[in-house]
Amino acid sequence: MRFRELTRLADRKIFIPITNEEFKFLRKHGSETIELESLEPRDSRVAENLIFKNVLCKINYKQAMVNENVYIKQ
């Protein structure tokens, strides 16, 4: 079972561990639409990891945004 499927089945909050690099990325891009094509290669990889963890959701193949269920502590 994939991680995303498990989070859908859960009725309570689930805490997803993220790396320091992912945290910095979210602080930088947390409240805006992220243009995936304009990211540097390393940031693009971080964004892919966050999409896999279901923290970011893809709007289309060029854009992503923070999932509405994700709380980012500022």
pLDDT at 46: 94
Domain regions of the chain by residue span: 20-66
- Cα torsion at 16, 9, 44, 28 (round to 10°)? -50
3-state secondary structure of 15: coil
pLDDT at 11: 56
pLDDT at 1: 46
- Model pLDDT for residues 15-58, shown as the tens digit of each residue: 778 889 998 998 888 778 899 999 999 999 999 999 888 888 89
- Comparison of pLDDT for 69 and 29, the residue scoring more: 29
- Comparison of pLDDT for 4 and 30, the residue scoring more: 30
